[in-house]
Structure 1
Amino acid sequence: MELKVRSQKLPEAIEIVDRLIALEPEERDLPLLKAHFQNYMGDAETAKQGFQEILERDPFCVEAYHGLVMAASQSESSHEELDGILKRVEGAMEMCKKAKKKEDLRDFKLLVAQIRVIEGKYEEALKIYDELVKEEPRDFRPYLCQGIIYTLLRKKDEAEKHFQKYRRLVPKGHPYARYFEENMMAMKIFGQMEESKRRGSFKS
């Protein structure tokens, strides 16, 4: 499957995922993987359906919400869709507070900040990341996100300061670090798209 993905043969990768799901129907990561592949292929609607089905089984699945966010970002009605997802995320966060799921709540806060970046609301995102840093200074993820935002804001010195903190804290070879960097690159692209849209509206 990994070889198919690396060679950009996503339809063939999805066929393999389907076979793996048949072999291991209880494996939760496989449906997520399939939906992400569908989204990368441009089949956002099918991907959304897959993420929705995962959330019906597990309303605390942050990664499924993340998938919905990435899929919604590609649609023409992205702002309306993101608002709807945000409301659902806020509901899930309230459930996390009641169930005292601190780690899930933290992951949801990171997702809310990512939505704000996609919307071009960088200052709001930075406030959330600042709160997360105060809560847990050893978590490398907010520093990476702050570095990305300051890069978007063309504040290179500030960006590098946060990237240094991130590099100092992230464990070597940490799989989540690579995954998160990939997500941040996607976030950066969406941020640039939003910036282009704003420039276009100024011109008109």
Structure 2
Amino acid sequence: MSQPRRRWFISVVLVLAIIAFVGFSMIPLISTAFRASQPVSETSVTNQGQKQLEEAARGYEVVLQREPENQTALRGLVEARIQLLDLKGTVDPLEKLVALNPAETQYGLLLAEVKQRLGDREGEAAAYRSILNANPGNLQALEGLANVQLREQRPMEAVALLQNTLSNAPEANQNQPGSVDINGVRLLLAQVYATQQNYNEAIAIYDELISNNKQDFRPVLAKAMALQQQGKNEEAKPLFDNAAGLAPAQYKERINQLATPSPTPSPLAPDITPSPSPPPSP
């Protein structure tokens, strides 16, 4: 993805993160880097100049009447409508961006996020499946689709999705080296097991991942959370400390927050997969 498009994507995700604080449920695809560090009040969203945003949106609409495939206008319209809290109005321009950029998975991920917030689970799942059809190893899409299946009380489908990805990974990586992050997919599989309280299976995967890469904080944190969910807080504490020591700086505060026992653990603990690949060794 080019730098201007990457900056646009980050900008839109930040706006989505802000919206989450003012009335929409959090969703898995907003990474820890965005959602854990932006406690924003509703006034900081609404005081940005609604009239200017409405005028900007109308301007982009005029451009698109003349040039329906003008991607600058499509991106601008998406961003303006998100800031106006008009998520439904972002669907059409996002779908056009997806169609115009089949290789740019970020547009599909944003579309899936919007569909989730609108309560369109079928649309959300379809967006993730479209990404996976072209890129079966995309961790964000795998995580998102697994979350949809868990929310619909279909855990075995989530397990099958990830197991099939792992089964096909050697061939996929032979055809396109690095296309499937096997450790990342195994981490997601262990998280699914943990949500179903199959802690023995989850922790066995975490232990193997920890053994294979002692510098990756994600399985350490995941194991700590699994122990915490079982009420084994004393066993979990040194793992939280270890994870905080291994993690990049932007994740340390969130890890310390997670170390405080919570009565309602998150469904798929998405915070522990902040990037498609493990962080680099120090």
Q: TM-score per shorter chain, which class?
A: 0.7 to 0.9
The one-letter amino acid paired with 2:191 is Q
Greater than 6 Å deviation, 4+ residue runs: none
Equivalent residue for 1:108, pick from 175, 180, 185: 185
Map 1:32-43; keep pairs closer than 5 Å. 32-43=109-120
Identity %: 23
| Residues 158, 97 of structure 1: alpha-carbon distance in 2 compared, 3 angstrom cutoff | farther
Deviation (angstroms), 1:113: 0.8
Distance 1:50 1:102, change over 3 A: closer
1:190 to 248, 251, 267: 267
SS in 2 for 1:59: coil
State whether structure 2 residue 258 is matched by structure 1 residue 153: no
User: Are 1:82 and 2:158 matched, yes or no?
Assistant: yes
The one-letter amino acid of 1:37's match is: V
Q: Which residue of 2 aligns with 1:121?
A: 198
Note closer, same or farther for the CA distance 1:174–1:4 as it changes in structure 2 (3 Å cut): closer
Residue type of the partner of 1:7? I
Q: Please give the TM-score of this superposition, normalised by the length of structure 1.
A: 0.74
Aligned to 1:154, what secondary structure does the other structure show?
coil
Counterpart amino acid of residue 120 in structure 2: D
- Give yes or no for contact 1:113–1:128 (8 Å, CA) kept in 2: yes
Q: Which has the larger radius of gyration?
A: 2
Unaligned segments of structure 2, at least 5 residues = 1-11, 25-81, 269-282
Change (3 A) 1:144 1:137: same
**Residues 40-49 or 96-105, more deviating:** 96-105
Q: Quote the residue 1:199 is aligned against.
A: none
State the Cα RMSD in Å.
3.2
The alignment covers a number of residue pairs equal to: 183
- Distance in 2, Cα, partners of 1:116 & 1:122: 7
How far off is 1:46 after superposition?
0.8
Aligned to 2:15: 3
Opposite residue 211 of structure 2, the aligned amino acid is K
Higher relative contact order (CA 8 A, sep 6+): 2
**What's the offset of the Cα at 1:93?**
3.0
Taking structure 1 as reference, are residues 127 and 40 closer, same or farther at Cα in structure 2, changes over 3 Å only?
A: farther
